[in-house]
Amino acid sequence: MSGAIQDTPLLVILGATAVGKTTLSLKLAQTLKGEIVSADSRNLYRGMDIGTAKPTPEERRQIRHHLIDIVDPDQTVAAAEYQDMAKRAIQNIQERGRLPMLVGGTGQYITALLEGWSAPRIPPNPELRSELEQFAHENGLEALYQRLTELDPDAASIIDWQNLRRVIRALEVTILTNIPFSQQRTKNPPLYKTMVIGLRMEREQLFKRADERVDDMIRRGFVEEVRRMLEHGYAPSLPSMSGLGYAQISRYLNGEFDLETATAETKRATRAFIRRQETWFRQHDHQTMWYNSDSIDIVGLTTTIRQWYSSVE
């Protein structure tokens, strides 16, 4: 197999939260001698384990994982930084004769990598970010998003208005350079020879699974995990703490919610997030082979992957 990055095979497993990506990827990695590169923006953070449904220590001992637990919750990882780290991990896996497997549900990370996005490398401006965060706090997320719509409608059309971090980043780049963020992002030829597997499930069934997972997280100590983070000084306003469940449990611990309300709000937010993930994957298709995770034929799928893998070696 050539060492050139363009010749590197990359197996991608994507899908919405709670659809079963981890279970499938572990089975395939064991059979295919693969290693997993996480494409989940929350898995990057140390100490955020239960609420992110991070692979367990035992699962990570069985199969080598990359881009998990690499930064503290008060640090940020821009999309361009993630791409750089993922490229290095994928090349390292391939050079050691293993199959690189990109697994996750963060659509922007996956699409950026597969489409060769070249994001603007403008250093963060803490003062401007603080100003934009304060504006959002005082006027609401929709008002901040409206500012982006006015300055860069193309960027606004592909950014979720509820994703504060992404809205701020697009505004930051646009304001600092006086060039719309959308005009600074380009696409390059595909870096990898990919096979993309998508997992899906009937929506109401998936919602039920997601609800059950939230209940299980609470039982396994999610509240205590968030309490530890707050005690370590990680403020609820941090981008990492805006993740599903962390924001809601923080409000419970701060006395704004009771636990029942925090749990219900987490479930509601998770369902909304699943809808956004499904929309993203529909709009950014990469010749995805879709499988129902309830009825997937692992043996048949493994055979299909082996045939593809042999053809690109």
Evaluate if residue 10 carries a pLDDT over 90: yes
Mean pLDDT (the chain) is 92
The whole-angstrom separation of Cα 14 and Cα 183 is: 28
Question: What range defines the domain where residue 158 resides?
Answer: 126-184
Query: Domain count of the chain?
Result: 2
For residues 125-145, average pLDDT: 90
Q: Decide if pLDDT at 2 tops 50.
A: no
For residue 172, give the CATH number of its domain.
1.10.20.140
Same domain, 109 and 218: yes
Could you tell me if 191 and 180 lie in one domain? no
Q: What is the pLDDT of residue 9?
A: 96
- Give the containing element (helix H, strand E) for 285: none
- 4 vs 55, which has greater pLDDT? 55
pLDDT digits (tens, 9 = 90+) for 222-265: 999 999 999 999 999 888 898 899 999 999 999 999 999 999 99
**Is 88 found in the same domain as 211?**
yes
Token readout for 133 is 């965060």
CATH number for the domain that contains residue 51: 3.40.50.300
Q: Which of 169, 184, 199 delimits the end of a domain?
A: 184
Residue 184 pLDDT class (50, 70, 90 cuts): confident
Q: HSE on the CB side for 115, CA within 13 Å?
A: 17
- 168 and 197 fall within a common domain: no
pLDDT band at 5 (very low <50, low <70, confident <90, very high): low
Residues 58 and 154 in one domain: no
Could you tell me if 206 and 285 lie in one domain?
A: yes
Same domain, yes or no, for 60 and 35? yes
pLDDT attached to residue 118: 76
42 and 62 fall within a common domain: yes
The tens digit of pLDDT for each residue in 255-297 reads 999 999 999 999 999 999 999 999 999 988 889 999 999 999 9
Paired strand residues for 289: 197
Neighbours of 86 (CB within 10 A): 22
- Mean of pLDDT values over 3-18: 84
Cβ of 42: how many Cβ atoms within 10 Å? 21
In the prediction, which pLDDT does 258 show? 97
For residues 223 and 264, state if they share a domain: yes
Same domain assignment for residues 134 and 268: no
Supply the pTM of this predicted model: 0.85
Last residue within a domain, chosen from 165, 184, 203: 184
In the three-class reduction of DSSP (H, G, I as helix; E, B as strand; rest coil), residue 82 is classed as helix
At residue 1 the predicted structure's pLDDT band, cuts being 50, 70 and 90, is very low
One domain for residues 192 and 284: yes
The answer, yes or no, to whether residue 302 has pLDDT greater than 50, is yes
**Same domain as 274, residue 211:** yes
Residue 194 pLDDT grade (very low, low, confident, very high; cuts 50, 70, 90): very high
pLDDT of residue 59: 95
Residue 54 DSSP class: P
| 64-118: pLDDT as tens digits | 999 999 999 999 887 788 999 999 999 999 999 999 999 999 998 999 899 888 7
Q: Phi, psi at residue 52, to the nearest 5°?
A: -100, 0
Task: Return phi, psi of residue 188, to 5°.
Answer: -120, 165
Q: Of 141, 167, 184, which residue is a domain's last? A: 184
